Structure 1
């Protein structure tokens, strides 16, 4: 999501103050997870042991499908390990994985600011996901808040329904109790049915009292009549329920243990078809060094990638060129974030398979 400082940027850290943007700072390899942030974004879509997308598609009514979409949206919220962060993706980096009939493709379409674009399709279910995300981490003294900009769009093409939603923000707290949590408001809207969900992700208060860590509370309502249909409550790392406002019935719509249990590392099925820009290939030497705890080799591998990135940007600037994504058409949105449109209609099957 973000990183802190490199050897060549020690002088810059003297100027880090509350409100500072941390997107240009890098962590030393000892504090990196052995994967790219692009892979982490992709995992939010394909790393599930339950086929929640199929359930979204099979609902018999607008309301049934909407509730399933709410559950799917919650499933993309994953816990992080405090003190470690994935690599910042390089410009043009890609990640391509298939899970069953779902094919997922991501591209890093901007480096500063860091913007990632995702396109996922399931031709059998006739489902499409388009997701453009820009995380801006700000330092606030005792914490870092990663403000997540961009729009997620889930299309159930068989039903001619489109669901738009945003992401909660990531809070990394150093004091008084270290921890990582998702916070903020998430709105999910179906333009065709007029149904809307307003969810609030909550954390502990500053001193660790009050509030409920990893909790979700909200409602589902009809935007035309403003009638509240369901109350939503629970924890995104455990279970989430909905309460029918008409009859008082309560049922579980999301079980994190069921959705995330038994996951396995993706498997390479076709090495010849892997792009040179694939995340696992770009960062292979660094990841291997981290796994072996060879920090000298890790620093060298990371420095090589960073220098190559800077050289690419210098060459583009000297020729007056700007980077053009190869797989997406990108633009700035009116809200200040980014929007993207995939060039391909359907994502092809990937050489990397999630089991």
Structure 2
């Protein structure tokens, strides 16, 4: 391990070295690999969908677009604005990326903004493979963002690659009573800086935003290479159909400033499209006090673990984490023995979702999975 690993506590360096050796020799999905306690985040992965709601004004503004073209731009702006919070905040706050806690089956995260004008509902709908379902709704504006995400992780070339499996459907009720729908696919991640003990995230590959009106946004991510390039860059195009005429091109960084390029329709070259770092107002999600939460809610269930991580008492965090995970394993064994499999409380499984399949067909690719999850009517908030 490099001497540069200054973010690794002295007492944990041996464990970090063993973890790196385990990574190098591990094959298959890394989700089940145990990380040293000091690299753990005190936050469960079930909280991550709250990042979609933090640029809440940009989310609400989607409904104010007067034309399909303007709404496509607004959905694109909101999507790009969410990325910095999702993928770089923890590095900025703690000095390095931390591994989130793996949610247990049925774990919930319930939050809101603006006294309930914007509401988030999250449930861990599968543990093997790990899948998180979520719904973000602004009832006043008639906007619903509903989706799911799973992660498949692997190690190669001194970095961890994270394939995000899943999608989101954004639905907007228009003034004429019709509904406009947008399919959003998720970026892929790479986590670098492992050998210096300061992991950080960059995005790779491509995301798509496909509107039911036929317009397509393509976001291509590029990061720093061995010789040249800078982190967090993207080139985004909006076209009439996947391979249709180019209407707009936007370039920049998803952590900072993005500008219209010379190809953009009706926009001046260099005109700012989004400044994600300086001018996007973000607001953290509001949740009930831990003592008022139900037993399945994330912050109550993981409190002892989070307290240990935040105080640096990693032995206590590890003990509490093991106790919770063993309890959940026993519940699954008891359910199997009783012939009563676990039932989701908040979401229903929708296999072969036709809404997803219809929009995915416009992108001319076959989705890895067409499954979706929808909030139960009884779970409405």
- In which range does the TM-score fall when normalised by the shorter chain? 0.7 to 0.9
Question: Is the counterpart of residue 65 in structure 1 residue 97 in structure 2?
Answer: no
Give the helix-richer structure, 1 or 2. Answer: 2
Question: Is the counterpart of residue 29 in structure 1 residue 23 in structure 2?
Answer: no
Secondary structure of the corresponding residue to residue 268 of structure 1: coil
1:146-165 equivalent positions in 2, closer than 5 A:
146-158=162-174, 160-165=179-184
1:52-131 equivalent positions in 2, closer than 5 A:
52-77=58-83, 78=86, 79=88, 80-81=90-91, 82-100=96-114, 101-131=117-147
CA contact (8 A) 1:131 1:150 kept: yes
Q: Distance in 2 between matches of 1:56 and 1:149?
A: 25
The residue that corresponds to 1:171 in the other structure is: 190
- Residues 1:224 and 1:38: Cα distance change in structure 2 (over 3 Å): closer
- Residues 1:120 and 1:15: Cα distance change in structure 2 (over 3 Å): closer
Q: Distance in 1 between matches of 2:61 and 2:305?
A: 39
The residue that corresponds to 1:335 in the other structure is: 367
Q: TM-score, normalised by structure 1?
A: 0.85
CA contact (8 A) 1:121 1:346 kept: no
Secondary structure of the corresponding residue to residue 32 of structure 2: coil
- Say which structure, 1 or 2, has more relative contact order (CA 8 Å, 6+ apart): 1
2:327 to 308, 329, 349: 308
Question: Is the counterpart of residue 188 in structure 1 residue 220 in structure 2?
Answer: no
Question: Is the counterpart of residue 298 in structure 1 residue 331 in structure 2?
Answer: no
1:280 to 293, 299, 306: 299
Task: List alignment gaps of at least 5 residues for structure 2.
Answer: 1-14, 353-365
Pairwise CA distance, 1:76: 2.2
Pairwise CA distance, 1:16: 6.0
Pairwise CA distance, 1:85: 1.3
Q: Distance in 2 between matches of 1:281 and 1:175?
A: 31
The residue that corresponds to 2:275 in the other structure is: 255
Pairwise CA distance, 1:163: 0.6
Q: Distance in 1 between matches of 2:279 and 2:287?
A: 20
The residue that corresponds to 1:245 in the other structure is: 264
The residue that corresponds to 1:351 in the other structure is: none
Measured against aligned partners, the alpha-carbon deviations of 1:148-171 in whole angstroms (never above 9, x if no partner) come to: 011111111125210111110110
CA contact (8 A) 1:19 1:140 kept: no
The residue that corresponds to 1:353 in the other structure is: none
Pairwise CA distance, 1:319: 3.5
Task: List alignment gaps of at least 5 residues for structure 1.
Answer: 1-6, 349-355
Say how many residue pairs are matched.
333
Pairwise CA distance, 1:323: 2.9
Measured against aligned partners, the alpha-carbon deviations of 1:191-220 in whole angstroms (never above 9, x if no partner) come to: 1x2100111011112x2x233310110210
Secondary structure of the corresponding residue to residue 151 of structure 1: strand
